[in-house]
Amino acid sequence: MTPVKNLTALTATALLSACASLPKGAPPFTPDTSGTADKATVYLYRSSGFAGSGLAPNIEANGVPLADLPAGGYFVYHAAPGEVEFFARTEAKTSVTIDAKAGETYYIKGTISMGAFVGHPHLVLVSNETGAREIKECKQVPTTVPTSEQVAAAHLSKAQ
């Protein structure tokens, strides 16, 4: 590769990474204490790493956008009991469905793999032991996540 191509590739990578990174000073992981006994607590997180670091796919619950998930970030969603499909998409779509139970905790891990033009997101439900261990390295995504009531209302209006 020529020096100009090397510089161009390095610049593009740096710009993409800056677009999808967490802001400086984002708070480190702390267990959520704002949940209520009538909801499930769902942690959605993505470990840091170079693969796909320039992407921050938007995570949706039942078709309603929740938040972007950059590398090294996490956010919490308080789900009403019942089936909830979480998904993310770029040129490919991934989803994981949970049967949320009130008072329970779930961890959904996001990763990015190589794609033809852009990385492919993947979501997987991991054990509470794995999730609790891995999320400790993440920082909170600065966003306001919709409530389960807002998601349900938006989902119903889309279905009509």
Q: How far apart are CA 74 and CA 88, in angstroms?
A: 14
Amino acid at 71: A
Instruction: Give the chain's residues under pLDDT 70.
Output: 1-21, 23, 49-54, 114-118, 160
What is the count of structural domains for the chain?
1
Q: In what order do the strands lie in the sheet with 64-68?
A: 64-68, 58-61, 82-89, 93-100
Q: What is the CATH number of the domain that holds 68?
A: 2.60.40.2890
- Residue 87's DSSP bridge partners are 60, 95
Per-residue tokens: 121: 């997101």
Range of the domain at 125: 3-159
Q: Are 50 and 21 in contact (CB under 8 A)?
A: no
Per-residue tokens: 26: 């984002």
Supply the pTM of this predicted model: 0.80
Q: Around 129, how many Cα atoms within 13 Å sit in the side-chain half-sphere?
A: 0
pLDDT at 53: 55
Give the helix ranges, DSSP H, for the chain.
Answer: 3-19, 128-134, 148-159
pLDDT at 118: 65
Query: Per this entry, what is the length of the chain?
Result: 160
pLDDT at 4: 41
Helix (H, G, I), strand (E, B) or coil at 28: strand
pLDDT per residue as tens digits for the range 150-160: 888 887 777 76
pLDDT at 112: 80
